[in-house]
Amino acid sequence: MKTRLLAGKHISEIGMGCMNVSHAYSGKLNEKDAIALLRSAFDLGINHFDTAALYGFGENEKIVGNAIKPFRDKVFLASKCGMTGVDGKRVIDGRPETLNKTLDSALQSMQTDFIDLYYLHRIDANIPVEESIDALSKAVAAGKIGAIGLSEVSAATLARAHAVHPIAAVQTEYSLWTRNAEIAVLDACKMRGIAFVGFSPLARGFLCDTFATTDELDAGDIRRGMPRFQGENWQHNRQLYTQFSLLAKQAGCTPAQLAIKWVLTQGDFIHALPGTRLLSHLKENVAASSLVLPNDILEKASSLINYNTVMGPRYPPLAQSDIDTEEFA
């Protein structure tokens, strides 16, 4: 696995997004199978594991902690605070006292005394970001976390936060069909030497053909409520995928590998963070690191699937209201 810098450390350029095994998507794994999958990721060369307090309302951090326990000192551990589950509902809370409590709970759940990178998962509209970052900076000073990250933020918010304490990474959805970071955040990160971690590089399963319609998904799968997976939007987007899969075949790789490789080629400060619950998909994702593709294939992929060709916003209105990232007109 090739490596890239993240919070001052050489980390596998493809990380393991751990959400899928216990949160938001269909086919959640039992703890035994989830642990086996995460340990397989380490065996395959991944040393970047990403979780959050929100995922499984705390259960995901426990699974990750159990999985990496035998090799904790050999992996880069990232988690997130500021968005948790309270009484079965998602709550955004950036108050310092809440962040401190969430951090202490995370350390206990993951059976560690140190988290390499701790993100503010969402910006609390009621709390100045400076207050939240100041609280996390004190956790750095206390030796509980190594670096601070932000998730789904605008370039303006990044600048405000970075003025309080150095921000090591920004994590935002980034793929061929979600390019919001290209408006300003990628440039802002590059200018400041901040790593960018692109989650959902496979467009939430769209770019690896994991399902033909949302009817195949579990009732609680969040993609059922996402406009791009619905009605005419989905029919149009599926036609794009058909062309994309043919392009991948022409390149001699799978659609998933083409999608991940495209993300990685957008800048050497960019990390790809796919998630999966299947070992076969995990092996497929990892193989993208060593893949060499001609520029014309990457350019064709970019022209085929982008914010102008895809139909539908990425989130429904309520979820979109929680996002600070810039939006295309």
Catalytic residue list: 55
> Tokens in use for 313?
């916003």
3-state helix, strand, coil in the chain (%, to 5): 50, 20, 35
How far apart CA 209 and CA 242 sit, in angstroms, is: 9
How far apart CA 121 and CA 267 sit, in angstroms, is: 23
- Asked whether the beta carbons of 196 and 189 are under 8 A apart, the reply is yes
DSSP 189-237: HHHHT-EEEEE-TTGGGGGGT--SSGGGS-TT-GGGG-GGGSHHHHHHH
> Which stretch of DSSP H or E encloses residue 240?
helix 231-251
> Tokens in use for 274?
């796919």
